Amino acid sequence: MAPKVLEVNDLVTRFYTPEGVVHAVNGVSFHLDEGETLGIVGESGCGKSVTMLSILRLIPEPPGKIERGEAVFMGRDLLKLSREELRFVRGAQIAMIFQDPMTSLNPVITIGKQVAEQVLEHLGMTEAQARERTIELLSTVGIPNAADRLGDFPHQFSGGMRQRVMIAMALSCSPQILIADEPTTALDVTIQAQIIDLIKELRDRLGMAIIWITHDLGIIAGLAERVVVMYAGFIVEHAAVKELYANPRHPYTIGLLGSLPRVDGRHARRLANIVGRPPDLLQEARFCPFAPRCASVIEHCWEENPLLRLVGTDHQIACWVDVEKAVKEVAR
């Protein structure tokens, strides 16, 4: 069994706004093993990104506040480190790729300087060494004529090439964990496939662990070993990827999978949709947050919010409903 490189326990994050308290992350717990890829899936606003930003203490404070929890990385709780200690973790040991590279890159600083900044800060290289390392990194992620592109600015790169630059920056210090926050969402399908293949290749070559955040279960199928499904700031299902796709047990996961088109032509049917609106995170969940949208809701769902429980080997769901009944009701 591979050792754990990250273990998150009972993470709670709130945002205190003029409209009220936003319950963004509500007692989230999970772990990441050495060298594995963990998918975190859910619709926009479910708490995926805020969970990761909380772990790295990148949420704005105020209005954000990490109320409780721990994030143990290599034996140290990231939530208790000083800001100075965190500087040597971010980028060097845990790196993050963000969704939109154009807003992540500084538009008035050359690509070469932005990539070199990481290795100068964390690896103590000379300017000449940093330049060579930058060329090597840009070549590794598939940017042609890398040495000639060091003086270019972000607007001179396409969207796919900018995302490759972000990957180069993330990998510059050979981190133990790479967090990819929907890195292909703004790209066309062909470039998406290229970026995913590139990250898989680099993962296998470098042996790093990956947390891949997405709303697209289709991407996770060929990428991750385990999947965490989030809804309204809670984890509602957690299983190995093959088990989740073959035997989804939470009505929300069943709905998500039902909305995916099949390419094999089997079980031809209309795509499913999840009725209703996303939850209001200004309201603290005193019952199952998915109850207003669930086709299999029962009376107990309105009385108590379920905790995660085992329904199989390493397969957990947070649901009060009989699973077989849920499958029949949702599929009807």
3-state secondary structure the chain: CCCEEEEEEEEEEEEEECCEEEEEEEEEEEEEECCCEEEEECCCCCCHHHHHHHHCCCCCCCCEEEEEEEEEECCEEHHHCCHHHHHCCECCCEEEECCCHHHHCCCCCCHHHHHHHHHHHHCCCCHHHHHHHHHHHHHHCCCCCHHHHCCCCHHHCCHHHHHHHHHHHHHCCCCCEEEEECCCCCCCHHHHHHHHHHHHHHHHHHCCEEEEEECCHHHHHCCCCEEEEEECCEEEEEEEHHHHHHCCCCHHHHHHHHCCCCCCCCCCCCCCCCCCCCCCCCCCCCCCCCHHHCCCCCHHHHCCCCCCEEEECCEEECCCCCHHHHHHHHHC
Say if CB 156 and CB 105 are below 8 A apart: no
The predicted structure's pLDDT at residue 331: 40
Spacing of C-alpha 197 from chain mean position: 17
Which one, of 152, 88, 154, lies nearest residue 122 by Cα? 88
Say if CB 202 and CB 167 are below 8 A apart: yes
3-state secondary structure 302-314: HCCCCCCEEEECC
**Strand 309-312, strand 315-317: pairing:** antiparallel
Q: What is the pLDDT of residues 135-176, one digit of tens each?
A: 988 888 888 888 898 998 999 888 788 888 888 888 888 888
Say if CB 29 and CB 96 are below 8 A apart: no
Which one, of 26, 4, 40, 7, lies nearest residue 211 by Cα? 40
The predicted structure's pLDDT at residue 117: 85
- Cross-sheet strand order for the sheet of 64-73: 20-33, 4-17, 64-73, 76-77
Check whether the bond before 144 is cis (ω within 30° of 0). no
The predicted structure's pLDDT at residue 9: 95
> Cα(42)–Cα(48) distance, rounded to whole angstroms?
7
> Cα(181)–Cα(213) distance, rounded to whole angstroms?
5
Q: What is the pTM of this model?
A: 0.86
The predicted structure's pLDDT at residue 39: 93
Say if CB 57 and CB 51 are below 8 A apart: no
Low-confidence ranges of the chain (pLDDT < 70): 1, 100-102, 186-187, 260-271, 322-332
